[in-house]
Structure 1
Amino acid sequence: MSQTLLLVDGSSYLYRAFHAMAPLTAPDGTPTGAMYGVLNMLRRLRADYVHDYCAVVFDAKGKNFRHQMFPDYKATRPPMPDELRPQAEMLPEMVRLMGWPVLVVPDVEADDVIGTLAKQGEAAGWNVVVSTGDKDMAQLVSEHVTLVNTMSNEKLDIEGVKAKFGVRPDQIIDYLALMGDKVDNVPGVEKCGPKTAVKWLEQYGTLQGVMEHAGEIKGKVGENLQAALEQLPLSYQLVTIKTDVDLHTELSDGLESLRRSTPKWSQLAVEFKRLNFRTWLKEAEERINEGNGDLFGAAHIGEQAALAAEQSLSENVSDGLPQTAPAPAVLNYQAVTTEAKFSALLDRLSQAEAIGIDTETTSLNPMEARLVGISMAFAAGDAVYIPLGHTPTAAPEQLDLNEVLGRLKPHLENAELKKIGQNLKYDQHIFANYDIALNGIAGDAMLASYILESHLGHGLDELAERWLGLPTITYESLCGKGAKQISFADVALEQATEYAAQDADFALRIESWLKARMDAKQLEMYQNMELPVAQVLFEMERNGVLIDKNELARQSHELGSELLQLEQQAYQIAGQPFNLNSPKQLQEILFDKMGIPTKGLKKTASGGVSTNEAVLEQLAPDYPLPNIILQNRSLAKLKSTYTDKLPEMINARTGRVHTTYAQAVAITGRLASSNPNLQNIPIRTPEGRKVRRAFTAPSGSLIVSADYSQIELRIMAHLSGDKTLLEAFKNGEDVHRRTAAEVFGVPPENVNADQRRYAKTINFGLIYGMGQYGLAKSLGIDNVSAKNFIDRYFARYPGVADYMQRTKEQAAAQGYVETLFGRRLYLPDIHSKNGNARAGAERAAINAPMQGTASDLIKRAMIAVRNWLISDGLQSKLVMQVHDELVLEVAESELDLVKQKLPEIMAGVAEGQLDVPLVAEVGQGENWEAAH
């Protein structure tokens, strides 16, 4: 068999990971997200491609030979972001430790090194696989050289290059030279896009042929070509990848120097610990103990499980579809800056059935943001941008905002014209700020992705990479980051048009592509649950909730007094004043001065004893100071997060607080709330519950709260089919009392308070996969007693035990579990060789269908309640959703009707689909606490 050489464009990986990954930091504050992303991509690549030789190539610092040819080469590129710089410095060594040869060659670029190695491998008769997202590399493709893009799963051989670019690999350099490259500041022919370049090369064969026939090409584009003739040979040189770099210094044994080697586990373990890569640390320690294995190779079982889950996704109902959506032959992005162009746009809108739509604004706060521009897409690659709020310098010619919105309003409010976008709830708010109701919302790429692949990211940049195989123009590339970031209003019109039109275009393409991949259940959930819920959330966010500032001021004062008292108590116990928020000082007081034993306590990355919440909770039963510190932290967080902060978040125009609900975050379908987070207000402490007093209703209205009773236990009864549980719910029994009676072997009427408390802990604990050790800790009993309780529970509820075993087996077989309504919940760690990771995935497999089904039910309830309120013309409105609870602002004249109908509607949302009755408990009051 021919040898395979695997080459990786490390610099491309680094930037792609930086923009795709959530920000992560090591314990010392060092950013690590991009580095983690690169290492993870390399792990997957090594698992996907069998190879004996490999290399990861990074760009060297400083200028290279192309700057000598053209001093302005890459002059328009922004500097490396500050948070990426330390990661770029650490990454090469981490990659070496993983067993990859690493090359960083001065005076050339990574592309040139890869090109040289590819040619050497080809000359040796090897197969060469180049992993990159850089289109320039297509010039290297040959019978033995293939490109792969790990983010989009795209593979490009000779035919693949032709299909994607419209030209042969040997014409790619000519193609790139004609178009130029704005990112690298390579001059090309002005206004020459992919379609024009392909047309010319089809006609004249090469760049030289195009140049020789320049006089035959008429019109403006011909004039542009003639004007560019002098610089085109330079452009050709700049985009040509060198394939003859002298690598004798780097590769003393030639290609043999690139033989794959074994990871250096001991050193990796040290680095993983320092960087807080905990899962990899455990696996590295296992390999050290075993003395063999390859964490980052094809033998890694957990990685194979993740890949199997991804393959299961890609082999959805749309078998036969290619992995990525086909790209249009040409991009037609235009700015609408004249009356003639705007009139033509209005004509197109009158005839269109569906459009992609996006807004560019001044702020991420949807209630306060103002328009900078609107983009609309009519088909793949066909989009326009209407600048409305750019500075005169950025866009000298712009139409009047009010006139444009006035003439667009009938089309935006026309429900027959379908609107498709990315997180359209935000754009709804923007138009609502101008008294325009965006109707006809028919698709949302973010929500379509969430239905298909809830375990992955749903940003447009990620979706474009994954499903279009295309990079996006990022906001940061235009506006910068941090203190130097400029407003989008200051972005030049040409760049703004390309960016904004791309957003509308890509959202339109991706949504259509993802919808085609859904099975019947997923399509039903997308169209009849997630899209309608987005409308409910928009209205709830718009409604906001009334906040009593005076009540919060009183609570802040009380909390301040309590914090002072706790501080004095802590000083008294410690025998000295100290900073309660300083881990170092607390560590000295607890373990050095007070001599509290440290055995069994968690250590910090530097080797000291941790003083985090888990450690303090461990110590609190035996020592008073940790208990006081915990109380102090809890009250301080309550004060800073809610009682001090909420008044500052009241919207000046509405006098209310308007949270933002995130719909595509939790894999179980649960909603998240931010700015402020209304779902995280503590309810287990008196001080936390008091905060809800500040959530009030205006004069003439009351707060009404409706909460599903024991929803996840009811779902457990249905999913498990356990006869005893089903009977208890159907008879309206107290399930915790029934469980206590079963476990303790006493009549229900003789169950005491402690027995019921134990049973409640068991009921809810088992939903979350709690084992005997977790139960023992929760109940404060020994492990043997906890095991006996669990054994007795399963003996009395055999259906529950069967469900748990059945669910774990199902998850292991297919890589995911499902909710009652078909939401898929992927579990990449279900086959992990790491016992803790695998056990965590098994617990998630048991819980996710219940939590996910509960999320689906509350979403159905939100839709049903909202539709009823509107159809009956009621003044009452939904103002909050918190897990299994709906909160309404109800007019006093409608109170009796709402209290009667609300539980009926909520109980009926799964009629005929659940084997147990749903029960919603309703309360009322002048504020949220009183109603709950």
Structure 2
Amino acid sequence: MSKPTLLLVDGSSYLYRAYHAMGQNLSAPDGVPTGALYGVLNMLRRLRSEYPHDYCAVVFDAKGKNFRHDLFEEYKATRPPMPDDLRPQAEALPDLVRLMGWPVLVVPDVEADDVIGTLAKQGGEAGWNVIISTGDKDMAQLVNEQVTLVNTMSGETLDIAGVIGKFGVRPDQIRDYLALMGDKVDNVPGVEKCGPKTAVKWLDAYGSLEGVMANAAEIKGKVGENLAAALPRLPLSYELVTIKTDVDLHGDLPEGLDSLRRRTPKWAQLAVDFKRWGFRTWLKEAETQLKAGANEDLFGSDTVGEQAALAEERAEPVLAAAPQSLNYAAVTDEAAFQALLDKLAQAEQIGIDTETTSLDAMQAKLVGISIAFTAGEAVYLPLGHNPTAAPEQLDLADVLGRLKIHLENPALQKIGQNLKYDQHVFANYGIALNGIAGDAMLASYILESHLGHGLDELAERWLGLPTITYESLCGKGAKQISFADVDVAQATEYAAQDADFALRIEAHLKQQMDAKQLDMYQNMELPVAQVLFEMERCGVQIDSDELARQSRELGQRLLELEQQAYETAGQPFNLNSPKQLQEILFGKMGIPTKGLKKTASGGISTNEAVLEQLALDYPLPKIILENRSLAKLKSTYTDKLPEMIAPQDKRVHTTYAQAVAITGRLASSNPNLQNIPIRTEEGRRVRKAFTAPENSVIVSADYSQIELRIMAHLSGDATLIHAFQNGEDVHRRTAAEVFGIAADQVSSEQRRYAKTINFGLIYGMGQYGLAKSLGIDNLSAKTFIDRYFARYPGVAEYMQRTKEQAAAQGFVETLFGRRLYLPDIHSKNANARAGAERAAINAPMQGTASDLIKRAMIAVRNHLISDGLASKLVMQVHDELVLEVPHTELEHIRTHLPQIMAAVDGGLMAVPLLAEVGVGENWEAAH
């Protein structure tokens, strides 16, 4: 069998070469230059066809400085800034290259050369053939028996003999050669007046830079004087021109070189982008590929691996049938609007979408509304466009006044994409959007939680159709225009498509669901979206005076910590500077660096994990950690929350994201309520600022040990189930089992050990992790784990069974049927596979806990409505519900809330659920 070939492309080199070769001869329909983009893509297309390969990568330089700037501040200082007409092309290029099927790498702190050097070394060591496509002479140092350079512009190929023929030195002497000559482009100093001939002459005579330096006294004349003057800086020059071959790429390549397997182009999105950039020939070819089913690769013939991947890709989504023609129209006059109203009066279901001025739903103003009736038939009502974009528009207030009856009609089913956002937009105008019957985003989340749920991605995946992107109409970055400035004809096509596609995709996804998934979609996720809308709309009251006090105290504490750090270090320094902190810790203080994590540039990391490790033995890292923690608390919460208080109601309104975590957990943003620290006193105090209005209290209801209870049920372990059924302290029971003593003899320390074991094993913690958590040796940790599994054999059997099921079917399930996919369960990378196995064990517990809290939210909300109560759900955080309760309803809530939450499993679980309720004038007091 032939050896695999790895093709590496110096993307940054390609970009500049294409720019200078193509100039400004090409431009997109909007006038943006495209010469460099076209040139790079064309070179890649040619490269792919001329150099057959199995693995590949295009590598670009990361923005900003890298480790060479730390070595030499003037490195590349003479380079001019990127030309203005190249900048937008450089920003767009990596995404286009990815869509073409090339893995793309951009690694901070190092240059593209270093990433290529590392990959070339790894490929060579694996026995692969490595081809590097570049025009950079520095890369010649990487050439060896396995590594060859190619220059597509000149047609030049450099193997070992080729390097010697071109430069007059061997590949292993290229660094010496470059250091002696210096590099004006990169501002690397060399020996003045030392050109290629002199460098070759010296290296022929003395073998290496070291040899030249050792014999410098023998070299006479002016050039000898120049060499003598350069001696002190030549080691630096050598270091600057040396390409690193040991960059840590684990985070970028989780499966090692296998992550670089050649991929299939994303034809649908390429078609959209080719249209945007005006690449008409390629657009036609991409559209041909889509119609033909993409059997051939426009950018080079498919490898066997690609054909297999493409076959697998085609086998998964069953595409929805597309209508024969599209009928999209703008409603801009009274006759068309009346026709729309008549049609709405007869309709049973519509797709609906809004175009607005902001992503902040509660501040957004309407620009337009789109409504779809059947596949391919939709209208757009421009209502807030600027007159130049839409000269004819109906009156916003009049339209909403006459649409309101239909929008609020619960019998008219509404389907959309992330309809919670549109609910808020209509609520801003006093309209309650009723009859929400489907949401394409949530349907996708039920079917394939591990994938993306944006409408563009769903259209490509399930309709096989490209979408008009927002950026293609409005641009992006500083030059982005408002949707209100988009021409009404283009706006109609875009907005009508959104309503049409959401309607089609949601219907199609429902057909793919089994009974459990359909039940979860209709009876859990859709109702939860309504609860979240109401919670977001309500918001929570914030005491800004309390936060101001906390900010002042945190500020004073930060000053004290800063002074302590100076005193401990023996000098002032910037606590936020990794470089200065490295110098203090490992230079001045001489802390040993063995075993500590390194940065990409080769220095010792000062990240949180390293500082936590050092804080066990040294005071300064502990001070730095506390400083960082309090500074983040201050900037993220005590300073920021008052700025987020809405002027209309003096409350803070978070946004809950429902379709993010594969386990079903909700996410919270602006502000993120899930991340308020609770392990420190200062973090817990932030909750003190979440208060109740006058004559009301905050009530917190938190599920007790919910994941351990789920573990007991899923594992069927008799001992665990018995402990929960009898209301025992399960950590004390575990301690008694592990230590072989009576429960009443368990000490607080033994209970702490047991608690760490109980929760650690849920998250797949092994003996090393347990040893670290408990501060004990590995053998003792193994003994504890062995005793645990001996006492709880059902847990061990569950873990083994679950890993086997995950490997067999690629996913695990929650108690209620939510599928949790594990893409890495068959990974060739042992670490990735082990991580997937740990996730397989934990995900059913986390996912079931998520399902239970969602069911609790629905049940509690329904109870509040059915009993006509004024109490409100205001927050959901992890396994906790937070309510705002009038004093007059407190006893009712205190009685019924835990009962409601304990019953949401529907009797499915073998152990009882327990919700603990707390009451207080603020969240901290209630928790």
TM-score normalized by the length of structure 2? 0.72
Deviations 1:834-855 (A, max 9, x none): 1111110000000000000000
Q: 1:663 aligns with which of 658, 673, 678?
A: 658
User: 2:437 matched to which residue of 1?
Assistant: 442
The alpha carbon displacement at 1:94 in A equals 11
* Residues 285/680 of structure 1: CA separation in 2 closer, same or farther (3 Å cut): same
Q: Measured at CA, do residues 85 and 770 of structure 1 come closer, stay the same or move farther in structure 2, by a change above 3 Å?
A: farther
Corresponding position: 1:76 with 2:76 = no
Q: C-alpha displacement at 1:761, in angstroms?
A: 0.3
Match 2:493 to one of 498, 501, 505: 498
Aligned to 2:706: 711
AA aligned opposite 2:647: A
Distance in 2, matches of 1:275 and 1:396, equals 55
Q: Which moved more, 1:351-360 or 1:275-284?
A: 275-284
Match of 1:404 in 2: 399
The Cα offsets for residues 430-463 of structure 1, whole Å up to 9 and x where unpaired, read as 0000010000000000000000000000001111
Compute the displacement of 1:310 (Å).
7.3
Can you list the C-alpha shifts for 1:8-44, whole angstroms capped at 9, x where unaligned? 9x9xxx9xxxxxxxxxxxxxxx999xx9xxxxxxxxx
Offset of residue 471 of structure 1: 1.1
> Where does 1:141-290 land on structure 2 (aligned, <5 Å)?
270=245, 273=248, 276-281=251-256
Evaluate the alpha carbon distance shift between residue 749 and residue 297 of structure 1 in structure 2; reply closer, same or farther with a 3 A threshold. Answer: farther
Query: Does 1:721 pair with 2:716?
Result: yes
1:251 Cα offset (Å): 12
- What's 1:575 paired with? 570
Is residue 820–residue 853 contact of structure 1 (8 Å, CA) maintained in 2?
yes
Matches within 5 A, 1:171-570: 270=245, 273=248, 276-281=251-256, 314=316, 323-570=318-565
- Distance change in 2, residues 1:98/1:538 (3 Å): farther
Matched, 1:804 2:799: yes
Q: 1:562 to 1:101 in 2, by over 3 A?
A: closer
8 Å CA contact 1:309–1:826 kept in 2: the answer is no
Amino acid at match of 2:894: K
User: C-alpha distance in 2, partners of 1:719/1:281?
Assistant: 35
Could you say which residue in structure 1 is the equivalent of 2:842?
847
In the TM superposition, what is the alpha-carbon distance from 1:75 to its structure 2 partner? 2.5
Structure 1 residues 300-338: Cα deviation after superposition (integer angstroms, max 9, x where no partner): 9xx99x9999789x3xxxxxxx72112111111100000
Distance 1:400 1:682 in 2: 49
Pairwise CA distance, 1:402:
0.2
Shift of 1:654: 1.2
Following the alignment from structure 2 to structure 1, what is the Cα–Cα distance between the partners of residues 482 and 246?
39
Q: Closer, same or farther in 2 for the Cα pair 1:149/1:486, shift >3 Å?
A: closer
Contact 1:309 1:814 in 2 (8 A): no
Written as runs of structure 1 = structure 2, the 5 A alignment for 1:831-910 is 831-910=826-905
C-alpha displacement of 1:276: 4.8
**Is residue 2:641 matched to residue 1:646?**
yes
Structure 1: 5+ residue stretches without partners:
1-5, 15-29, 36-55, 104-147, 152-246, 253-266, 287-295, 315-321
Instruction: State the percentage of identical aligned residues.
Output: 74
Alpha-carbon shift at residue 831 of structure 1 (Å): 1.3
1:723 Cα deviation after fit: 0.1
| Aligned residue runs from structure 1 range 574-723, under 5 A | 574-723=569-718
CA distance in 2, matches of 1:81, 1:647: 49
Per-residue CA deviation, residues 413-442 of structure 1 (Å, 9 max, x unaligned), is: 000100000000000000000010000000
Quick one: which of 763, 771, 776 aligns to 1:776? 771
Distance in 1, matches of 2:650 and 2:388, equals 37
| 2:279 alignment counterpart | none
Task: Determine the C-alpha separation between the residues in 1 that align with 2:460 and 2:247.
Answer: 28
Deviations 1:543-564 (A, max 9, x none): 0000000000000000000000
Q: CA deviation at 1:611?
A: 0.4
2 CA distance for matches of 1:85 and 1:771?
51
Match of 1:420, SS state, is: strand
1:748 is aligned to 2:748: no
3-state DSSP class of the match of 1:398?
coil
Pair 609,926 (structure 1): closer, same or farther in 2 beyond 3 Å: same
> Is the 2:250–2:256 Cα contact (8 Å) retained in structure 1?
no
Amino acid at match of 2:631: A
Q: Gapped runs of 5+ residues in structure 2? A: 59-98, 103-151, 158-241, 262-301
User: Structure 1 counterpart of 2:551, which letter?
Assistant: S
CA distance in 2 between partners of 1:449 and 1:308 (Å) = 22
Distance in 2 separating the partners of 1:87 and 1:550: 57
Give the direction of change, closer, same or farther, for the CA distance of 1:81–1:354 in structure 2 (3 Å limit).
Answer: farther
Change (3 A) 1:356 1:149: farther
Q: Which amino acid aligns with 1:618?
A: Q
Conservation of the 8 A alpha-carbon contact between 2:371 and 2:379: yes
Separation in 2 of the partners of 1:324 and 1:512?
Answer: 12
CA RMSD of aligned residues (A): 3.7
Answer whether contact 2:654 2:670 (CA < 8 A) is retained: yes
SS of residue in 2 equivalent to 1:277 = coil
CA distance in 2, matches of 1:660, 1:376: 25
- Once residues 314 and 716 of structure 2 are traced to their aligned partners in structure 1, the CA distance between those partners, rounded to angstroms, is 31
**1:91 Cα shift?**
8.3
**TM-score, with structure 1 as normaliser:** 0.71
**Letter of the 1:491 counterpart:** V
Q: Relative to structure 1, is the Cα distance of residues 618 and 61 closer, same or farther in structure 2, using a 3 angstrom cutoff? A: same
User: 1:58 & 1:719 partners in 2: Cα distance?
Assistant: 58
Inter-partner Cα distance in structure 2 for 1:560 and 1:90 = 56
Distance 2:922 2:671 in 1: 18
Letter in structure 2 aligned against 1:596: I
- Taking the aligned partners of 1:424 and 1:785, their CA distance within structure 2 comes to 53
Task: Give me the whole-angstrom Cα distance separating, in 2, the residues matched to 1:91 and 1:362.
Answer: 39
Return the structure number with greater relative CO, CA threshold 8 A, min gap 6.
1
Distance 1:613 1:88 in 2: 41
The 5-angstrom pairing of residues 56-67 of structure 1 reads none
Q: Report if aligned partners of 1:268, 1:284 keep a CA contact under 8 Å in 2.
A: no
Conserved in 1, the CA contact under 8 Å of 2:410 and 2:435? yes
Deviation string, structure 1 residues 478-534 (Cα, Å, up to 9, x no partner): 111111111111111111111111110110111011111000000000000000000
Q: 1:450–1:458: 8 Å Cα contact kept in structure 2? A: yes
What is the letter of the counterpart of residue 449 of structure 2?
S
Contact kept in structure 2, 1:309 and 1:816, CA below 8 Å = no
* Partner SS for 2:438: strand
- 2:594 is paired with a residue of what secondary structure? coil
SS, match of residue 830 in structure 1: coil
Change (3 A) 1:61 1:517: farther
Structure-2 separation of matches of 1:517 and 1:268: 51
> How far is 1:279 from its partner?
1.2
Q: For residues 494 and 700 of structure 1, do their structure 2 counterparts lie closer, same or farther at Cα, with a shift above 3 Å needed? A: same
* 1:376–1:384 Cα contact (<8 Å) kept: yes
The reply to whether residue 918 of structure 1 matches residue 918 of structure 2 is no
Structure 1 residues 870 and 553: CA distance shift in structure 2, 3 A: same
Query: Is the CA contact 2:56–2:260 (under 8 Å) kept in the aligned structure 1?
Result: no
Cα distance, 1:399–1:251 mapped onto 2, change above 3 Å? farther
The change in CA–CA distance for 1:889 and 1:248 in structure 2 (over 3 A counts) is: closer
Contact 2:760 2:770 in 1 (8 A): yes
